[in-house]
């Protein structure tokens, strides 16, 4: 009998369970329970899934907050696109927008200081992937995701978009500098 033929026994569910079949069901069940338990476990003991808050917003309202921070705290611009590098005061609210196809603006944060990082999208769904730390957050328009972060390593961190968002997805990069 092949899988494209109808079963030999029409009422197949009344036949006794084969030992191998039972074993596979047990393995699959056990594995699914392990994977399920990994979700809360990894949230607590892993470093990739941050606890976050989410609030309703609009691209217009969020864009204004980003612009207000840029107007107040820009320290320099980078690349030939004149991307502002913003250094907000330690402990403050920091705003970062994802948009086609850029993370806007660049941030400069102080090591060992805490910030409330607000993230939202101006258009489509984007993925905030902070490298090389591998922190991942889904960034959705009309929602403001807030995470409290305390950078503990100085250096240059790259934000990569990891949610496919169109023709420029691969070039959707951003930068966070952590300084001493």
Nearer to ligand CUA, 94 or 172 (CB): 172
- 116 counts as binding ligand CUA under rule CB under 6 A: no
- 174 counts as binding ligand CUA under rule CB under 6 A: no
- The DSSP string of the chain is --TTSPPSSSSGGGSPPPHHHHHHHHHHHHHHHHHHHHHHHHHHH-SSS---EEEE--HHHHHHHHHHHHHHHEEEEETTTTEEEE-PPTTSEEEEEEETTEEESEEEEETT--EEEEEEESSS-EEEEEETTTEEEEE-BTEEEEEEE---S-EEEEEEE-S--STTGGG-EEEEEEE-
Q: Which stretch binds ligand CUA (CB under 6 A): 7-15, 28-36, 56-64, 163-171?
A: 163-171
Taking the complex as a whole, the smallest distance from the CB of residue 168 to ligand CUA amounts, in Å, to 8
Phi-psi sector, 91: left (phi>0), alpha (psi -120 to 50), beta: left
- 119 counts as binding ligand CUA under rule CB under 6 A: no
| Residue selected from 172, 174, 176, 178 as contacting ligand CUA according to rule CB under 6 A | 172
Q: Which stretch binds ligand CUA (CB under 6 A): 48-56, 81-89, 109-117, 160-168?
A: 160-168
| Residue selected from 73, 88, 163, 174 as contacting ligand CUA according to rule CB under 6 A | 163
Binding mask 120-139 for ligand CUA (x = CB under 6 A): ------x-------------
Summarize as ranges the residues that interact with ligand CUA (CB under 6 A). 98, 101, 126, 161, 163-165, 169, 172
């Amino acid at each position: 009998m092949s899988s494209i033929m109808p079963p030999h026994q029409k009422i197949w569910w009344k036949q006794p369970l084969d030992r191998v079949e039972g074993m596979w069901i047990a393995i699959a069940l056990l594995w699914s329970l392990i994977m399920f338990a990994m979700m809360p476990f990894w949230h607590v003991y892993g470093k990739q899934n941050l606890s976050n808050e989410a609030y309703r917003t609009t691209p217009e309202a969020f864009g204004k907050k980003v612009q207000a921070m840029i107007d107040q705290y820009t320290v320099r611009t980078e690349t030939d696109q004149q991307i502002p590098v913003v250094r907000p005061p330690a402990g403050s609210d920091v705003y970062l927008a994802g948009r086609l196809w850029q993370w806007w603006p660049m941030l400069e944060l102080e090591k060992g200081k805490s910030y409330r990082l607000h993230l939202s999208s101006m258009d489509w769904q984007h993925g905030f992937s902070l490298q090389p730390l591998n922190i991942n957050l889904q960034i959705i328009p009309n929602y403001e995701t807030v995470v409290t972060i305390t950078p503990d390593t100085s250096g240059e961190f790259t934000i990569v978009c990891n949610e496919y968002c169109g023709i420029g997805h691969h070039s959707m990069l951003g930068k966070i500098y952590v300084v001493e």
